[in-house]
Amino acid sequence: MPWRDYQPGARAVAHRSRLGRACLAWAIDISRASRLPGGPLLPAGHPESIRTTILKRVLAVIPTHERPEEIKELLNSLAKLRTDSCAFSVSVMDDGSLTSLEDIVRSEGLGLDLIFSRNEKSHGPSWCRNRMVEATDSDYLWFLDSDTVVLSPDTLENMLIAIGRDPKICAVGGTVENIDGDLLLQQLEILPNAFFLYRVFGLDDFEPSYVEGFGTCNMLVTREAFNRTGGFDESLPRDEDMDFCLTLRGLGCRFYMEKGTSVLHKCSHTGRSTGAFAFHMSRIAYFQKLLETRVTIIERHFPVLLLALPLLDLLLIPRVMYRVSSKYYAHKRIRRDVLTWSYSSLVTGGHLLYILAKCYAVGYLRLALRALGQRRP
């Protein structure tokens, strides 16, 4: 018999009250939610019944190439995570390693809800991440590099709490790196000439704060925000994560970082001699990809900068070099990038000037074509 037809004497009025209906409806919902498949009806408030109503799906997205030892360590750290408030799964894609990493991944990921896939040919991390995201549904996407290690079992729980603090926060993350024996937090800074550098802090010196973005070595982002960007740009040979963050910023999204949401990034050089990152082995190829990608990102997000980019570089590089030497910026790869900017002219001579001219010319041409296209009726 429907509850509204049940009239136990003088108390029928109370049962028809708005409060009574709301309370009873809540009790019915809890009762239905707590009936687990194949199990008995659990009492309202039971931990397992509450878990079924608030569970969020988190997918860890990990591309890897020729990194057997690194992926072992990462999977071991993921297996120790506390996942009380989420349904956690891990997707690993072997991006064209000469010897398949499937046996290693499956043996180390026995305690995880694991999805493994493999490419015969290396396509790069952007391609891999986009395919893994497309293949599995989830509420959150946790992008990790294969040379990271989760230091605390509470990291994922901390990230889920942090991302819910502000409706405009669409991503949380952060990295810790071992620099000269010290563990230092890295905070992204975008300079006026669109250099992407990381300022360093001691673990106890960093205050939780909004930041300008993260690398995909550790970034938890909502599925909704990811879908709005269209995913990672697979045409970029590097810095696709910076392009992704700038796209999110253009959509009004915010980034949040604290010590508890960070992981250790080991900055391994393994896996860079072959595959999509083989250009790291050549100073000239590395520098060319850096320049071409940088001009593409600037043209896309800061087109006005192209008009004064050479001048800004000349003005800012000495300042950046000073801050690197004073350990304001202390990321090893940043040191390499800045040193490349400063010393490659002595090594490559005319070829450097050719690359610079080519990159800037391409940037200006794109800007001019876009301006002409906007003027068409």
5-61 confidence digits (pLDDT tens):
333 333 333 333 444 444 434 333 433 333 333 333 334 344 443 334 468 999 999
Closest CA to 235 of 286, 306, 292, 170: 292
Task: Kindly state the percentage of the chain with pLDDT values over 90.
Answer: 47
Instruction: Determine the distance from the C-alpha atom of residue 301 to the mean position of all C-alpha atoms in its chain, rounded to a whole number.
Output: 19
Closest CA to 217 of 194, 186, 256, 191: 186
Question: How do residues 319-342 score in pLDDT, each as one tens digit?
Answer: 777 676 667 666 555 555 555 544
pLDDT at 267: 87
- pLDDT at residue 218, rounded to an integer: 97
> Per the structure block, which two tokens stand in for 271?
């896996």
What's the CA dihedral at 66, 69, 74, 78 to 10 degrees?
120
Q: Which among 62, 39, 210, 66 is positioned nearest to 133, based on CA atoms?
A: 62
Q: Which residues of the chain are modeled with pLDDT < 50?
A: 1-53, 341-351
pLDDT digits 0-9 by tens, 190-220: 888 888 888 889 988 899 999 999 999 999 9
Sign of CA dihedral 127, 128, 132, 135: positive
For the chain, list the domains and their CATH numbers: 3-51 (no CATH), 55-265 (3.90.550.10), 282-375 (no CATH)
